[in-house]
Structures are given as structure tokens and as C-alpha cells.
């Protein structure tokens, strides 16, 4: 790769070639997985390029296309399985400087891809008491473009479902990787061409997202003697249509007492919990519902006098749960599981009884195809890759699909299939295959045919075959 020629072509655009910084910007949280840690430890780009405008972005893509240099787009690098790591070297395209918040209007916001999610909410709240519907637990660091390209759902999914669902993204502006890059405006069905595609088939240059009413959300933590008690309570709470919640996260002992160090004083050793975030106007009714269950309120942000140093509930949930476990026990890893409706409680109970203490339960209640069910992000006491694969097999044999966080390809993670429409769009928008190479198996290996026949996280536009 002629990096010197590329630098000359990019005069006036921000570039970084310091090897230590380039390596740091070439990484995400891949080390959550001991499997990926071994596979991706060596991965680094040759150069980091940071356009500030769409015209600079187009200049970068034109130059890289002419020189045949791979381009791996990146937001702020908060992904967990190597989605934005440059397997073929070349350029890491940092979109963090394309962070303008351009329009806030009733029910919608328009931003650059690099806008940090918490900053979008801050602006929308100040402008018109609105906020984004869904955000990841990396709220204060994740960019909106990175969330769309690599995420699936998060805090708020108990009300709104995931990014896969119609209406949760309004419009994307995308730049193609061609001799003369085109600018495409995608809406409706076409959005699925680039959502959760890891930037393999176009670079997002503008995002339009729906907004909803903002509230001064209240964090509450409910204590239970057993994980299944917490799970049943979380499921029942999710079904209470009159209670407005934003987060319902049952977590098994010993995680709360052992891993949530700043909250440890609120828990008993051996206690399971359910993290809840509730709208203030629903708080009294929520507390009445919880009393009816005979459950114990161990933390209530409204009545607690000293909140200094305590992270919000969302920073104990989703992938932050695993992060806090890893800080205490580096041998912990995790899985991503769907417990399909309507048998989610029975399947949770069965799989946890089958695997035992090797797996620490962690659920996130969501709406999935309109039904309340839950994802699992259980913490696994890792021993060997072979045992990890056996645990995955046990889940799938018992009706619990795994979206494998120990794989960096689209087909093995959230898609669970070859998406032929995304593949066709890549052929159109990235004919040389220079965008984030190595992440789409169907592109790298045209003979590949991944047909799981099972539930998958992203519906895609057309099943393979």
C-alpha cells in the first residue's frame, strides 16, 4: 500500500501516523472475548484519517479507491467484537469529528455520524424536552453512527424494540466507495442495507433518528433471594403497560455484590437483583407493583441521600455488566442469547440449571417483534474455547439462539444468515471490496451459504437461498 501517496492526496485533511495512536484507534473492546483477544491482538491500521465534512470524506474515499487501500470506518470504538478493527490494515476512518447536531424538531433529530449519543440527548432535552428512544450502555462515549452500524438495541428497548424495527431509524445518508463516490439517501426498507453492516457497504455521513419525550428517569434496584425470582419479576414488570420503564435488567448473584463495587453497600452477599429505570410519574405505581410481589427495594435514587460516585443503572446493565465483572475477574467472558417468546422464563430456568455456576445470569427485557421477552448476556467463567463452544451448543439445542460475540463476522454474529440484499448492495457500493474487509463472509467466500433457519437478530431484506 502506497501510504505516502495517500498522505499526499489527503493534504489538508487530518491524519495520524504515530504507531501507538494508530494501534489504539485500530481497536475496540474485542478483549471481552478471550477468543478474539488471541485472534485480533496484532491487528493495526497504517494510518488514521479523520474527515470533518462530507466533502473531506468523499476525498478520502476517492483517494483510497484509486490507490486500492482498505478503509475501516470507526466511531468511538465502543464495539465489543472487532467490528471496526482493520483486518487488512490500511486506513482507519475516524468519523468522530463529523459530530454536528444539525436539526432538532418534533419527533426527530439530524446529526453527523460522529455525534456522541449523550450529547444528542443533551441538545434535544435543552431544545424541546426530547431524547433518543434507544441508547447503548456506552451512552457517554458511543457515537450514533457507530451504534447504527454495529449495535442492535439497548436502554429503551423495553418500549421501542431494537434498531431492526421499522421507525427506529428515519433516514441515513451514505457515501459509496467508488471511483466517483455517490451520495445515497436511504429510508424505509433500504435502511436495512447498511444497518448493522459494520460499514462494509457504505459510509454513513448523516443520520436522522426519532425522538421521544424526555423524563428525569429514576433508578431503582430491587433485591431477590434467587435469580429466577428476579427473572419472573422482570418479565411481569415488562408486561405492565401502564408503567413507563426504560430498563429492566435481572442480574444473578454473585455479580451484584462482587462486581458492582460502588453499589456493594446496598446488597447482601448472595443476593440477585433487578435494575429498573422508571419515569418519575410511574414511580409510585411501580413501588406498589413491587410491594405486591413482596420484593425488596434495596436502592431508590429518589430517597437515597448520597448519590456521589454511583453510576446510573444503565452503566451496570447491558455490556457494562460484563465490563464490571472483567475488572474484578479477567477470566470472565459472556454470550449474547435470545430467549424467544412465549417460553422465555421456562428456557431461562432450564438452561441455567443445565449449565450451573459456570454461567452467571444476566437478562435484558425488551420488545421483540412486539412481544415482551428478553435477551441474555450471561457472564461465563471461561476455561477453554472448546467448553465455550459446548455452552453455545447447549443453548441452541434448547431453543436459545446465540448471537456469537466471539466472532467478528456479520453472518456469525447478529445476522445469523447471509443477507443477499446487503451482499448485492456491497457489490454496487464497494466494487473493489475495500470497505472493512474480512467482516462479510459471503463477500470473501462467494461459495459460502449460511442458512441457520432459526431466529436472527436482524431480519435483513431477503433470506439466503
Between 63-67, 106-110, 363-367, 450-454, the lowest mean confidence (pLDDT) is in 450-454
pLDDT for res 423: 86
Q: What is the mean pLDDT of residues 84-109?
A: 97
What's the rounded Cα separation, in Å, for the pair 253 and 424? 46
With a cut of 70, say whether residue 462 has pLDDT above it: no
Q: What is the mean pLDDT of residues 195-201?
A: 91
Predicted TM-score (pTM) of the model is: 0.94
pLDDT for res 153: 94
With a cut of 90, say whether residue 458 has pLDDT above it: no
Q: What is the mean pLDDT of residues 74-89?
A: 91
What's the rounded Cα separation, in Å, for the pair 250 and 19? 42
| Architecture (CATH level 2) of domain 3-94 | 2-Layer Sandwich (3.30)
pLDDT for res 24: 96
Helices (H) and strands (E) in the chain, counts: 15, 20
- pLDDT category at 445 given cuts 50, 70, 90 is confident
Angle between helices 227-238 and 344-355 (to 10 degrees): 160
Q: Which CATH number fits domain 218-403: 3.30.300.160, 3.40.50.12780, 3.40.462.10, 3.40.50.2300?
A: 3.40.462.10
Mean pLDDT estimate for the chain: 93
Q: What is the mean pLDDT of residues 181-204?
A: 94
Q: What is the mean pLDDT of residues 4-9?
A: 97
Q: Which of 36, 144, 22, 25 lies closest to 82 in space, CA to CA?
A: 36
Per residue in 351-391, pLDDT (tens digit) is: 999 999 999 999 999 999 899 999 999 999 999 999 999 99
- pLDDT category at 457 given cuts 50, 70, 90 is very low
> Which part of the chain is CATH 3.30.43.10?
3-94
With a cut of 50, say whether residue 460 has pLDDT above it: no
Per residue in 265-304, pLDDT (tens digit) is: 999 999 999 999 999 999 999 999 999 999 999 999 999 9
Between 299-308, 391-400, 426-435, 449-458, the lowest mean confidence (pLDDT) is in 449-458
What's the rounded Cα separation, in Å, for the pair 33 and 44? 18
Q: Does domain 101-214+425-444 have CATH number 3.30.465.10?
A: yes
Per residue in 26-64, pLDDT (tens digit) is: 999 999 999 999 999 999 999 999 999 999 999 999 999
Per residue in 239-249, pLDDT (tens digit) is: 999 999 999 99
In the chain, % of residues over pLDDT 90: 87
pLDDT for res 170: 98
- Strand pairing category for 47-50 and 91-94: parallel
Q: What is the mean pLDDT of residues 204-230?
A: 98
Per residue in 300-329, pLDDT (tens digit) is: 999 998 999 999 999 999 999 999 999 999
Instruction: Considering only CA atoms, give the Rg of the chain.
Output: 22
What's the rounded Cα separation, in Å, for the pair 283 and 276? 11
Between 176-190, 237-251, 429-443, the lowest mean confidence (pLDDT) is in 429-443
- pLDDT category at 451 given cuts 50, 70, 90 is low
Q: What is the mean pLDDT of residues 220-231?
A: 98
pLDDT for res 417: 62
Residues 229-245, buried b or exposed e (16+ Cβ, 10 A)?
Answer: bbbbbbbebbeeeebbb
> Which part of the chain is CATH 3.40.462.10?
218-403
pLDDT for res 416: 52
pLDDT for res 89: 95
- pLDDT category at 441 given cuts 50, 70, 90 is confident
With a cut of 80, say whether residue 262 has pLDDT above it: yes
> Which part of the chain is CATH 3.30.465.10?
101-214+425-444
Instruction: Choose between 449 and 334: higher pLDDT.
Output: 334
What's the rounded Cα separation, in Å, for the pair 386 and 404? 14
pLDDT for res 422: 85
What's the rounded Cα separation, in Å, for the pair 224 and 222? 7
pLDDT for res 449: 63
Per residue in 124-162, pLDDT (tens digit) is: 999 999 999 999 999 999 999 999 999 999 999 999 999
Beta strands of 81-217 (E only): which ranges? 91-94, 101-105, 108-111, 130-132, 171-175, 183-187, 203-213
Amino acid at each position: 500500500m502506497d501510504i505516502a501517496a495517500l498522505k499526499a492526496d489527503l493534504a489538508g485533511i487530518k491524519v495520524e501516523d504515530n504507531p501507538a495512536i494508530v494501534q489504539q484507534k485500530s481497536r475496540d473492546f474485542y478483549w471481552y472475548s478471550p477468543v478474539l483477544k488471541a485472534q485480533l491482538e496484532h491487528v493495526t491500521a497504517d494510518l488514521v484519517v479523520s474527515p470533518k465534512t462530507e466533502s473531506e470524506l468523499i476525498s478520502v474515499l476517492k483517494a483510497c479507491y484509486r490507490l486500492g487501500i482498505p478503509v475501516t470506518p470507526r466511531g468511538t470504538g465502543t464495539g465489543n467484537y472487532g467490528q471496526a478493527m482493520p483486518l487488512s490494515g490500511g486506513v482507519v476512518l475516524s468519523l468522530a469529528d463529523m459530530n454536528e447536531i444539525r436539526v432538532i424538531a418534533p419527533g426527530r433529530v439530524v446529526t453527523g455520524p460522529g455525534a456522541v449519543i449523550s450529547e444528542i440527548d443533551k441538545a434535544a432535552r435543552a431544545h424541546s424536552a426530547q431524547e433518543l428512544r434507544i441508547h447503548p450502555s456506552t451512552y457517554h462515549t458511543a457515537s450514533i453512527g457507530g451504534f447504527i452500524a454495529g449495535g442492535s438495541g439497548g436502554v429503551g428497548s423495553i418500549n421501542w424494540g431494537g434498531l431492526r424495527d421499522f421507525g427506529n431509524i428515519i433516514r441515513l445518508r451514505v457515501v459509496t466507495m467508488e471511483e466517483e463516490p455517490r451520495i445515497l439517501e436511504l429510508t424505509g426498507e433500504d435502511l436495512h442495507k447498511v444497518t448493522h453492516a459494520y460499514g462494509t457497504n457504505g459510509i454513513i455521513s448523516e443520520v436522522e433518528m426519532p425522538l421521544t419525550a424526555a423524563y428525569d428517569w429514576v433508578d431503582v434496584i430491587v433485591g431477590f433471594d434467587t435469580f429466577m425470582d428476579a427473572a419472573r419479576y422482570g418479565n411481569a414488570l415488562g408486561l405492565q403497560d401502564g408503567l413507563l420503564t426504560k430498563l429492566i435488567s435481572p442480574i444473578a448473584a454473585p455479580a451484584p455484590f462482587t462486581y458492582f463495587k460502588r453499589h456493594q453497600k446496598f446488597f447482601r452477599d448472595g443476593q440477585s437483583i433487578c435494575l429498573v429505570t422508571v419515569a418519575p410519574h410511574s414511580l409510585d405505581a411501580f413501588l406498589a407493583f413491587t410491594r405486591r410481589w413482596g420484593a425488596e427495594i434495596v436502592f431508590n435514587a429518589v430517597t437515597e441521600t448520597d448519590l456521589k460516585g454511583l453510576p446510573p443503572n444503565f452503566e451496570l446493565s447491558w455490556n457494562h455488566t460484563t465490563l464490571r465483572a472483567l475488572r474484578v475477574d479477567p477470566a470472565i467472558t459472556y454470550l449474547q442469547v435470545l430467549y424467544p417468546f412465549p417460553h422465555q422464563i421456562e428456557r431461562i430456568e432450564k438452561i441455567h440449571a443445565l449449565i450451573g455456576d459456570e454461567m452467571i445470569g444476566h437478562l435484558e427485557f425488551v420488545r421483540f417483534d412486539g412481544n415482551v421477552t428478553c435477551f441474555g448476556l450471561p457472564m461465563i467463567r471461561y476455561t477453554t474455547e472448546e467448553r465455550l463452544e459446548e455452552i453455545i451448543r447447549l443453548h441452541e439445542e434448547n431453543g436459545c439462539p446465540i448471537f456469537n460475540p466471539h466472532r467478528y463476522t456479520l453472518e456469525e454474529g447478529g445476522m445469523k444468515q447471509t443477507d443477499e440484499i446487503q451482499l448485492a448492495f456491497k457489490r454496487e457500493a464497494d466494487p473493489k471490496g475495500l470497505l472493512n474487509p474480512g467482516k462479510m463472509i459471503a463477500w470473501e467466500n462467494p461459495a459460502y451459504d449460511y442458512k441457520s433457519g432459526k431466529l436472527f437478530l436482524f431480519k435483513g431484506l431477503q433470506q439466503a437461498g
